[in-house]
Structure 1
Amino acid sequence: MRSLALPASLFATHRFAAVQRVTGVLLMLFSMTMLPPLLISLIRDEGVAYAFAEGLALTLLTGVAVWWPVRHAETELKTRDGFLVVVLFWVVLSTFGAIPFYVTHTGWPSFVDAMFESTSGLTTTGATVATGLDTMPWAILFYRAQLHWLGGMGVIVLAVALLPMLGIGGMQLFRAETPGPMKDAKLTPRIAGTARALWLVYVMITLVCAWVYWLVGMPLFDAICHAMSTISTGGFANHDASIGHYQSLAIEIAVMVFLLVGAMNFALHFVAWRSRSLLVYLRDPEFRAFAVTVLVLSALVCVPLWLSGTYDSFGTALRMGMFQLIAYATTAGFATADPTPWPAYVPLLIVLSGFMVGCAGSTAGGVKMTRLVLFMKQAMREMQRLLHPNATIPLKLGGKTVPDDIVYAVGGFFSVYVGLTILLTFVMIGTGLDPVTAFSAVAACINNVGPGLGSVNATMAGVSVFGKWVLIVTMIIGRLEIFTFLIVFTPGFWRR
């Protein structure tokens, strides 16, 4: 009798064999991330170990089932395949990451709530639909922070460091996942070396952050969890009152410092560490724009708080204003106060800061400071061209001429980003939110900030089911910087 088994060559020539193979490997790798919270629950006898065991088993078995049929496929991963893997993986990973939340029902009574929390964690948004964090099991709290930490540098970038060992190339994944307008710069000759270098810096800064938090008064477990949330600029906290729970100026200062570190380009951290010089930061035009913007926005927030009498002293206004500004601007979303009732333009300015401050190559969301600088330089160049129509005016950044195709791409990105934010705001208004709350919810999710204003400041549990699904998609769109997500929905993407 002739065998009905399909030949391996059929999978090897299948168009999506490489995508299927990589997705299966990444799912298997992700399943291992549920081991630490499982062990924590077993050690502390918290009664939620079963949730992580189920999540690990389902994720691992699914990964094996996806990978096994194409394990011998030798097809190359093309550029468009990289985009598809990244989009698929963030959606699939968020879905499987929701399993422990949904199974325990600790603070997430429905699947959409569990999916919201998982997506918010992995995209480093930090918006939550849960309350009662102070009494939650340590395993759940650690898992939330771990999702942030893995999503911060990007699980895909971690995979790029490991996939060459498995015989799978990773440059296409790196280009699709890495945030910022310039994605081809390498810190080392090989792209896997670049990914490993970035992760080395990421791990070291996280360890230093946890150590500092412990020194200034955080309990060790809180210090570890908050360090992962801080360096990833995520914002999940172990307490309902967030960082305000500690009522400690020293802790707040430490958090602000490390949030700024997390919102800076990690490639810059690597170069500064390798050259043993802090002058690297001062020479970088994006860092200078970043520092000036933070200082200017801090003054625009703190001075009105003082003059309006919102706080009794300038010191308190400075403390509260700077913390909230830096938390929103770096897209972390930690909190010591609710900025909603603050005077004049301050609440809106704080929300808008999440659009502009984070640097390219950082864990922060938003449009990225590099794009903002290029956008402003292009505006100045267009005004110069009005005065000198025949002049050739190059656009330079850091002493180097920026190709026009990057400049045009930045302009297109701004247009789509703003247009999509407006469109999604109208959609959220249609779910029953008032215009200000709807805009702040969309801004919080597309910029991966976390808290909004009003009823969506501390929790988004009050948003409708449809609204939560809209915000879940918005978080993924923001994390993948729009085009990586939208491109897979174009007809041209699916043509051979």
Structure 2
Amino acid sequence: MHYQLTLRVLGVLLMLFSIAQIPPIAVSFYYDDGAHRAFISAFFILLACGFLLWVPFYRVKGELRIRDGFLITVLFWSVLGVFGAIPLYLSPTPNMSLVDSVFESISGLSTTGATVITGLDYLPKSILYYRQQLQWLGGMGIIVLAVAILPMLGIGGMQLFRAEIPGPVKDTKLTPRITETAKALWIIYAILTFLCATAYWLAGMTPFDAIGHSFSTVALGGFSTYDASMGAFNSATIELIAIFFMILCGMNFALHFFAWRQRSLLHYFGDSEVRFFLSILLLTFVITFSVLLIHETYPPIKSLRNAAFMTVSVASTTGFATGNFAYWPVMLPFMLFVTAFIGGCVGSTGGGMKVIRILLILKQGYRELQRLVHPNAIFPVKLGRRTIPDKVLQAVWGFFSVYLLVFVIMMIALMGTGLDQVTAWSAVGATITNLGPGLGDVSNHFGNINSTAKWILCFSMLLGRLEVFTLLVLFTPVFWRR
């Protein structure tokens, strides 16, 4: 383990994150909302702490190993979650406790969108902007941005990239050099954000709301500047724009890169994961719309709008709302919630277990059924024309098993703090999938649950953002063994 190199990298990343305090300072002065002191203090605290970590080891150079990458990734997201809470804690409005500030910060960075704040409509504009910005930075991952800078400091970045990028295809590069890959991802991310913000603005949002909601839409985060979320606008056009970009950002960003490079959309339709993702959305929408119509929950047009929007929002783990699906009839709340466990495609900004893993589990399950009939036959598992190695399938099953085991353990822990069963399992589900809204006592916000439960859910959000293994590997003896 290169501890000196690890501290140096962490210092650089903290100093880099201090820059994120500058836009909220500008917003605070522009709207004269009185929150600028909190962000100025946070800027200097982040800069000073980062500098103190960096300066003793600024001459240390070398190549990061895989274990270093895991350690830096986990440390950075954990430390950043705490330091990101500073302006929320120092700001007089809202008056937040330490645990609430850290919860809100981690929720933003992990693009979960679970909030402990009520009265968003009356918060300082700079605080509202900062929450949206946290999600935007967390969506692609600020570490991926740093990967483009670290090589210039004499530090290789591939190990960080492997630890940060989700899914079973971590070693796939869009370009021969990892630096160029990180830059390509951020260019695509920025272009999609600009297009989304422009579309929102043309559809009737104010520039402030358009920028803020484009941040959380492209990041599939779900934070809004209003308590009513997207329902505050009551606009079918805005909802259609959100649906389009939520679906687009729920797909693998590598597909967007090749569409941009090759000027073609054909590979979208040839991708097995995208087809399965769209099939899940379509089937869920049809069932949701039908049930809402049968039970006459809304008028037909309103049922169509709500079914389409909430299906895409929940299944992509965004968490925007036009209505509280927790109170929808019969099995709809549970069914929609389950789609969040599937989540977005690998390489997207979505959470959940990822579509490709569920697809591979289903394919392997079907292969086992075939083997029952033909025990000696060989049935390869394929995605398109590509045969999936057994070691990948074993890794998928291992991830699935650990994911469910961790879910159960944390649900029991939450029930031990006094939460009821529905609230406990949905709170863990909403955070580990990075969805945001839950059921029961957390269907509207997480502000009323106890502090111990909030700390557990902070850990759950980090698990979901780092896809379980990246975080849990630090708790194994073999990781620290020389």
**TM category, shorter:** over 0.9
What is the correspondence of 1:324-339 to structure 2 with a 5 Å cutoff? 324-339=310-325
What is the correspondence of 1:265-280 to structure 2 with a 5 Å cutoff? 265-280=252-267
CA shift, 1:391, in A, is: 2.2
What is the correspondence of 1:27-426 to structure 2 with a 5 Å cutoff? 27-313=14-300, 315-426=301-412
Query: What is the SS of the residue equivalent to 1:238?
Result: coil
Of 373-382 and 118-127, the range deviating more from structure 2: 373-382
CA shift, 1:407, in A, is: 0.6
Query: What is the SS of the residue equivalent to 2:353?
Result: coil
Of 428-437 and 89-98, the range deviating more from structure 2: 428-437
Give the whole-Å Cα distance in 2 for the aligned partners of 1:216 and 1:39: 26
1:448 aligns with 2:434: yes
Partner of 1:26 in structure 2? 13
Partner of 2:3 in structure 1? 16
Cα pair 2:62 2:155 within 8 Å, conserved: no
Cα pair 2:343 2:433 within 8 Å, conserved: no
CA shift, 1:389, in A, is: 2.2
CA shift, 1:308, in A, is: 1.1
CA shift, 1:69, in A, is: 1.0
Residue 443 of structure 1 aligns with an amino acid whose one-letter code is G
CA shift, 1:349, in A, is: 0.7
Structure 2 residues without counterparts, runs of 5 or longer: none
Cα pair 1:119 1:475 within 8 Å, conserved: yes
Give the whole-Å Cα distance in 2 for the aligned partners of 1:140 and 1:360: 31
CA shift, 1:172, in A, is: 0.1
Cα pair 1:294 1:357 within 8 Å, conserved: no
Residue 202 of structure 1 aligns with an amino acid whose one-letter code is Y
Q: TM-score, normalised by structure 1?
A: 0.96
Query: What is the SS of the residue equivalent to 2:327?
Result: coil
Query: What is the SS of the residue equivalent to 2:325?
Result: coil
Give the whole-Å Cα distance in 2 for the aligned partners of 1:239 and 1:56: 26
Q: TM-score, normalised by structure 2?
A: 0.98
Deviations 1:173-196 (A, max 9, x none): 000000111100111000111111
CA shift, 1:492, in A, is: 0.6
Give the whole-Å Cα distance in 2 for the aligned partners of 1:319 and 1:40: 34
How many residues of Structure 1 are paired with residues of Structure 2 in the alignment? 482
CA shift, 1:205, in A, is: 0.4
Give the whole-Å Cα distance in 2 for the aligned partners of 1:464 and 1:150: 28
Deviations 1:31-53 (A, max 9, x none): 11111101111232221111011
Give the whole-Å Cα distance in 2 for the aligned partners of 1:316 and 1:222: 23
Give the whole-Å Cα distance in 2 for the aligned partners of 1:193 and 1:386: 47
Give the whole-Å Cα distance in 2 for the aligned partners of 1:454 and 1:283: 40
Cα pair 1:17 1:75 within 8 Å, conserved: no
Of 455-464 and 39-48, the range deviating more from structure 2: 39-48
Cα pair 1:293 1:357 within 8 Å, conserved: no
Query: What is the SS of the residue equivalent to 1:340?
Result: helix
Residue 40 of structure 1 aligns with an amino acid whose one-letter code is V
Taking only the aligned residue pairs, the percentage that are identical comes to 51
CA shift, 1:367, in A, is: 0.3
Structure 1 residues without counterparts, runs of 5 or longer: 1-13
Cα pair 2:281 2:312 within 8 Å, conserved: yes
Residue 70 of structure 1 aligns with an amino acid whose one-letter code is F
1:433 aligns with 2:426: no
Partner of 2:466 in structure 1? 480
CA shift, 1:433, in A, is: 1.9
Cα pair 2:259 2:265 within 8 Å, conserved: yes
Of 223-232 and 447-456, the range deviating more from structure 2: 447-456
CA shift, 1:312, in A, is: 2.8
Cα pair 1:107 1:132 within 8 Å, conserved: no
Residue 261 of structure 1 aligns with an amino acid whose one-letter code is L
Cα pair 1:441 1:452 within 8 Å, conserved: yes
Partner of 1:6 in structure 2? none
CA shift, 1:311, in A, is: 1.5
CA shift, 1:435, in A, is: 1.1
Residue 128 of structure 2 aligns with an amino acid whose one-letter code is L
Give the whole-Å Cα distance in 2 for the aligned partners of 1:21 and 1:399: 44
Cα pair 2:231 2:322 within 8 Å, conserved: yes
CA shift, 1:364, in A, is: 0.4
CA shift, 1:439, in A, is: 1.1
Give the whole-Å Cα distance in 2 for the aligned partners of 1:320 and 1:395: 37
Give the whole-Å Cα distance in 1 for the aligned partners of 2:78 and 2:451: 18
The list of structure 1 runs, each at least 4 consecutive aligned residues, that deviate by more than 3 angstroms after superposition, is none
CA shift, 1:108, in A, is: 4.5
Cα pair 1:98 1:118 within 8 Å, conserved: yes
